[in-house]
Amino acid sequence: MAAFGQPFLFAGAVLNLAEIRKYLAKAGIRADRKFSQNFLFNDDVLHRIIDLVPSGKGFYVEIGGGLGSLTEKAVQKKLAPFTVADLDENMVKILKSRFSDEADIVFKDGSKIDFSQYYQGVKGFVFGNLPYQVSSLIMMNTCFESRYLDGAVFLLQKEVAQKFAAAPKTRDFGPVAALIRLVGHADYVFKVPPEDFYPAPKVESAVLKVTFNDHSFTKEELVSFADTVRILFSNRRKTLQNVFKINCIDSEILNDFSDIAMKRAEELDWETILEINEKIGRQK
């Protein structure tokens, strides 16, 4: 295996497909399925993503830095202070060899980041090419920590991005979309084809931009809300009456609403979801 302490093979070069393959082969490493690694190499798409990240925020965190394709664009844009997190030790070594002078490279789980540690009175911004397997967990944690953030830009599986941006009373609306809506709003921006990645995934990807509102929700309140909507949407084909029964929730709550006991969660409007959450919260 190539020594990571040596000068980086493609330092200063655009990470195109040929160079990614060449480096991975020389270093004796490859994309790890355990981390859902698919390296984006389309330079135009990378520029479009980083253009969605605004300048002048209090701090920046990239989740899943990988080989540093998007990290390089962030450094060129002079985003600072800048932290890059990855859970693959090989990727952390690569990132440190490339960007240790411009960013704080950390071995960290993107679904467990405490953004308050970076907050110094000015809200920050988070972005990244998220591992598909844990994208929901990362998005939820980002929402839990959103009181410290102005927004996020994430590259996700296309169907996941569509679900995260879905509106209430639609088939795609679910727990994560509800959590995002509570603290801000999401915009589906553009899709990215499989051939822009190495190795190419079997699905299309898409870029999602989330803008967070100023709010006073505590992390505990947001976790509680997430638990409530998870229960509501846990059996999507069953009526709320049955969902409450399955989850041992007092069905008397449903009597406070007109004609919703026989509805499914995806038929509820946003105001009703908030009211149900408030009433369930009183019983917890």
Given a cut of 50, whether residue 49 has pLDDT beyond it is yes
pLDDT band per the 50, 70, 90 thresholds, residue 5: very low
Q: Is the pLDDT of residue 25 over 70?
A: no
pLDDT(281) > 90: no
The CATH homologous superfamily for domain 17-216 is: Vaccinia Virus protein VP39 (3.40.50.150)
Task: Tell me the average pLDDT across 118-145.
Answer: 96
Residue that the structure tokens 């467990």 belong to: 112
Kindly report which listed range (35-39, 73-77, 176-180) carries the lowest average pLDDT score: 35-39
Model pLDDT, residue 284: 56
For the chain, the average pLDDT equals: 89
pLDDT of residue 24: 73
Q: Among 155-164, 230-239, 275-284, which stretch is predicted with the lowest mean pLDDT?
A: 275-284
* pLDDT surpassing 80 at residue 30: no
Residue ranges of the chain that CATH labels 3.40.50.150: 17-216
What confidence score (pLDDT) does residue 199 get? 83
Confidence of residue 8 (pLDDT cuts 50, 70, 90): very low
- pLDDT for 205 equals 97
- Cα–Cα distance measured from residue 87 to residue 180, given in angstroms and rounded to the nearest whole number: 25
pLDDT in tens, 73-99: 999 999 999 999 999 998 898 899 899
Q: What percent of the chain has pLDDT over 90?
A: 71
pLDDT, position 11 = 47
Contact present, 178 and 222 (Cβ < 8 Å): no
Q: Of the ranges 18-32, 104-118, 221-235, 260-274, which one carries the lowest mean pLDDT score?
A: 18-32
**Per residue in 202-239, pLDDT tens?**
999 999 999 999 999 999 999 999 999 999 999 888 99
